[in-house]
Structure 1
Amino acid sequence: MNDKFKTVSLDDMIDKYVGKVGTPKRDAFDQELRIELLGNAIKQARRDRNLTQEQLGELVGVQKAQISKIENGAKNARIETILKVFEALGAKISFSVEMNEQIMAF
């Protein structure tokens, strides 16, 4: 076996190159990842329902461009619009908010 190659976990790589959990840089990275995953979930749900971005936009009351931005992880999307998108897709949603290490689920 060649000792030049070592298996490293994804978590170890992220810790090394982005930062440990709880650091500002890591928190920002994790937040961006959650936003991207949310956009991907919306895109998949839309496609599963055979809707175009334009059709979903019409159901929600926004332009196709806004749906595209949400699906592509736009950070400036209004929570109200995202909630309307989920409602139009018939999705059940729940939130949890962590403040001062206290978790509140909605």
Structure 2
Amino acid sequence: MADIETISYSLAEMKDKYIGKAGSVDREDYEYELKMDVLGQMIRTARKERNLTQEQLGQLVGVQKAQISKLESSVNSASIDTILKVFKALNANIYFNVILENQHLKLV
């Protein structure tokens, strides 16, 4: 029986190899999409914790149920104003971190 060599890679190494090195356009696009997906999941989770339907949340925000559904699946097409309204309707705090080269700004 032949020995099987095991090779393991870190997540960062896998991203570098299959998506692109950090700072590349493909990697930046990937990281952005990932963050938008996570934000949509956070909206869905907070809505469910508040026992609200998409329609009810839409009424609180002033948008249609379809817009809430789109937000939960991907917030790419949403304005920051809509996202802020959604979190306000959910009684949830949202914090922004802005990182400029060698500087960290925090807006609370």
Q: Answer yes or no: same fold by TM over 0.5.
A: yes
User: Is the counterpart of residue 8 in structure 1 residue 3 in structure 2?
Assistant: no
| Number of equivalenced pairs | 105
Look up the match of 2:56: 55
CA shift, 1:71, in A, is 0.5
Contact 2:21 2:27 in 1 (8 A): yes
CA shift, 1:24, in A, is 1.3
**Distance between the aligned counterparts of 1:72 and 1:101, measured in 2?**
33
SS in 2 for 1:75: helix
CA shift, 1:6, in A, is 1.9
From the CA coordinates, give the structure whose radius of gyration is larger. Answer: 2
Percent of residue pairs bearing the same amino acid type: 50
**Distance between the aligned counterparts of 1:49 and 1:58, measured in 2?**
14
CA shift, 1:98, in A, is 2.8
Alignment root-mean-square deviation, CA: 1.4
Q: Which moved more, 1:96-105 or 1:13-22?
A: 96-105
Look up the match of 1:43: 44
1:89 maps to amino acid:
L
Contact 2:39 2:75 in 1 (8 A): no
Look up the match of 1:30: 31
Stretches of structure 1 that go unaligned for 5 or more consecutive residues are: none
